[in-house]
Amino acid sequence: MRKSSMLIIGIIVMSFNSIYQYSWNAFAPLLSSGFNASLSQISLAFSLFAIFSTIFQVIGGYIADIYGPKIIGILSSILSSIGFLGTYTSKNLLSFYAFWSIGSAGEGILYMIASNLAVKWYYEKRGFATGLVSFGFGLGATIANPFIIESKSFREPSLIIGIIELILLPILLYFSDYPKKEISGIRPTKIIVTRKWWLIYFSYVFSVVPLLSMSSALSFVSHQSEIKILAILISTFALMSGLGRPIIGFISDKLGRFKTLFISICLVIIGNILLIINQIFLSAIIIGLFGGALIPLYFSLVGDLFGTKYSTANNGILYTGKAIAGILGGEVFSIILGKGVLLSGIYLLISSILSIALLLTSSHYLKS
């Protein structure tokens, strides 16, 4: 198949992946009322999503690098659909946690396969191609969120999404493939012993905390808004996150990965400051637009620095940082948010500043 077909597969797969993260703000109130649970109890499921999706990316990513994405992709698409179908049948929080974790494991592997269809096939336009696939990570939720918000229960949308995934995604993954030509790259076991890797890793962790915090708790940050305003805000946040990825990825192909990352994180800092002064709508737009672009930018950076032969596994290891960020942006943020929007904004500001400091330090080590 033509490599443009790989991009289309990646975008569609990523669109379904986005529902786990960017539809969480739409699902969370329904889950809270459906299970009669608190924000903290529901936020635990978001943290489980971050943990399971990232852990299984390393395992699934290595398998995809060695044996190709087809078989592991089909199995992962089934697991992802089980997450929604199992949620539909869940009678209590424990069963919901279990099914959501299973689905998150499948989503994590699919995310890495979809991203690396772009990383591996497009060398000269890696930033744009990776961003274009990641655009699906905002697109899917933008389409699904109004439907979810208008639902009276979490069960109906969970059932519909799960059935569509179970039918469509295995067919798409059957046609997925990586380039057969010789490509170079450094094994994961070699990169994880270098200082520059860990500087990039923790820069990534702190950079995505604002994005994940908004993803997990935007509906609670803006809890005083009317339901229609809230629906617009949640959908706009997801859309901005998707739109920023190909646009800023294209800029990074021209300007350079490090410079683009630095500028994007600085703009996220502005979004954090807007949250501190209670400008929630503007804050969500800026954090969505520039925070969403950070993930594919870091993926492209890893491909640039360490090659593409093991890029699925290497980016899978990088993406484990999302488990840490998921806890910081899920459970920890929800606790701080309980103390007020001001403190939560300061918390996100500190996280972004730490990210920039680590990124600049890693740039120094790469030059030396």
Write out 138-176 in H/E/C secondary structure: HHHHHHHHHHHHHCCCCHHHHHHHHHHHHHHHHHHHHCC
* 255-272 tens-digit pLDDT: 999 999 999 999 999 999
pLDDT score at 222? 64
* H-state helical runs in 23-124: 24-34, 39-67, 70-89, 93-121
pLDDT score at 368? 52
6 in Cβ contact with 121 (< 8 Å): yes
Other C-beta atoms closer than 10 Å to the C-beta of 54 total 25
pLDDT of 182 higher than 60? no
* 288-333 tens-digit pLDDT: 999 989 988 998 899 888 888 888 889 889 988 887 888 898 778 8
User: What six digits make up the tokens of 212?
Assistant: 């994940």
Arithmetic mean of pLDDT, 337-361: 92
| pLDDT class of 57 with cuts at 50, 70, 90 | confident
Residue with tokens 């400051």: 273
Of the candidates 53, 60, 356, 61, the residue with the CA atom closest to the CA atom of residue 215: 53
Tell me the average pLDDT of the chain.
Answer: 88
Give the amino acid at 31. Answer: L
pLDDT of 223 higher than 70? no
Q: What percent of the chain has pLDDT over 90?
A: 47
pLDDT score at 365? 61
User: What six digits make up the tokens of 125?
Assistant: 């336009």
Instruction: Specify burial of residue 340 (Cβ count, 10 A radius: 0-12, 13-18, 19+).
Output: exposed
pLDDT of 40 higher than 90? no
3-367 topology per CATH: Growth Hormone; Chain: A; (1.20.1250)
Of the candidates 127, 106, 105, the residue with the CA atom closest to the CA atom of residue 51: 105
pLDDT score at 286? 94
| pLDDT class of 366 with cuts at 50, 70, 90 | low
Q: Is the pLDDT higher at 336 or at 181? A: 336
pLDDT of 226 higher than 80? no
pLDDT score at 329? 87
Among 9-23, 42-56, 83-97, 263-277, name the one with the lowest average pLDDT.
42-56
Cross-strand partners of 185? 307
Sign for the pseudo-dihedral over CA of 46, 50, 51, 52: positive
Within 13 Å and on the Cβ side, how many CA atoms surround 237?
A: 34
* 185-201 tens-digit pLDDT: 788 889 999 999 999 99
Torsion, Cα of 205, 207, 209, 211 (10° steps): -130
Arithmetic mean of pLDDT, 103-115: 94
* 112-154 tens-digit pLDDT: 999 889 988 887 788 899 889 988 877 888 889 888 988 989 9
pLDDT score at 281? 85
Other C-beta atoms closer than 10 Å to the C-beta of 91 total 8
pLDDT score at 156? 94
Q: Please state, in angstroms and rounded to a whole number, the distance separating the CA atoms of residues 270 and 291.
A: 11
- Name the residue ranges covered by the structural domains of the chain: 3-367
Q: Please state, in angstroms and rounded to a whole number, the distance separating the CA atoms of residues 81 and 103.
A: 6
Per-residue DSSP letter, 338? T
pLDDT of 277 higher than 70? yes
Of the candidates 331, 364, 340, 351, the residue with the CA atom closest to the CA atom of residue 43: 331
User: What six digits make up the tokens of 239?
Assistant: 């859309």
pLDDT score at 181? 73
Arithmetic mean of pLDDT, 74-96: 96
Sign for the pseudo-dihedral over CA of 281, 285, 288, 294: negative
